[in-house]
Amino acid sequence: MRCMCQDGSVTCSGIVACPQVTCLNPVTTPGECCPRCSVCVQHGQNYQEGQSLTLTEDPCLKCTCVGGEVKCVAPRCEKLSCRNQITGSGSCCPRCRGCVYDGVERQEGSTWLASGSHCMSCLCMDGVTTCSELQCVSTCLNQISVPGECCP
């Protein structure tokens, strides 16, 4: 109902028909009869209640329009055990920095045979490559070395 005070008396007119709202969480402002969709304004652009948006200054934040305010949450990143961490471009969470060996980035914790020597094993740990000679274990008493082979 809509009421007015005129010449000392109150006169009320019919019921106000509210327009249909299409947002997820409409709000009713004190003193108003009809609910409406609250709007968030970010960089001159309007976002409706419940709508997701990405901030240009930090695209990793997950943001939503809530009650006329932009609410943001940082991404949950996996806890890493390595000391040397990097966050690549276009990525929001850090990863363990690998090792570069012969121009190829090797994954943290990986092992491979050294270039030019199939008797050397290399390991990437905390961004550092460590290579060592393969350890041969044999129970034979009379070992014979074979050319081109690491172990007799």
Asked, for residue 67, whether it belongs to a domain, the answer is: yes
Give the mean model confidence (pLDDT) for residues 85-109. Answer: 87
Give the mean model confidence (pLDDT) for residues 118-122. Answer: 87
pLDDT number for residue 2: 67
Distance CA 151, CA 105 (A): 28
pLDDT number for residue 136: 81
Beta pairing partners, 96: 85
Helix ranges (H only) for the chain are: none
Looking at the fold, whether 49 and 90 belong to one and the same domain comes out as no
Q: What's the pLDDT band for 132 if we cut at 50, 70, 90?
A: very high
pLDDT number for residue 93: 93
Would the pLDDT of 147 be above 90? no
pLDDT number for residue 32: 81
pLDDT number for residue 44: 87
Asked, for residue 91, whether it belongs to a domain, the answer is: yes
Number of domains into which the chain is organized: 2
The residues, any chain, with a CB within 8 Å of residue 61's CB and separated by 6 or more, are: 54, 55, 72, 73, 74, 75
Domain residue limits at 118? 85-133
Q: What's the pLDDT band for 1 if we cut at 50, 70, 90?
A: low
Looking at the fold, whether 91 and 70 belong to one and the same domain comes out as no
How many Cβ atoms are within 10 Å of 101's Cβ, its own excluded? Answer: 16
Asked, for residue 114, whether it belongs to a domain, the answer is: yes
Distance CA 39, CA 26 (A): 10
Summarised one tens digit per residue, pLDDT across range 15-38 is 767 888 776 677 777 878 888 777
pLDDT number for residue 89: 82
Looking at the fold, whether 69 and 30 belong to one and the same domain comes out as yes
The residues, any chain, with a CB within 8 Å of residue 48's CB and separated by 6 or more, are: 23, 37, 39, 40, 65
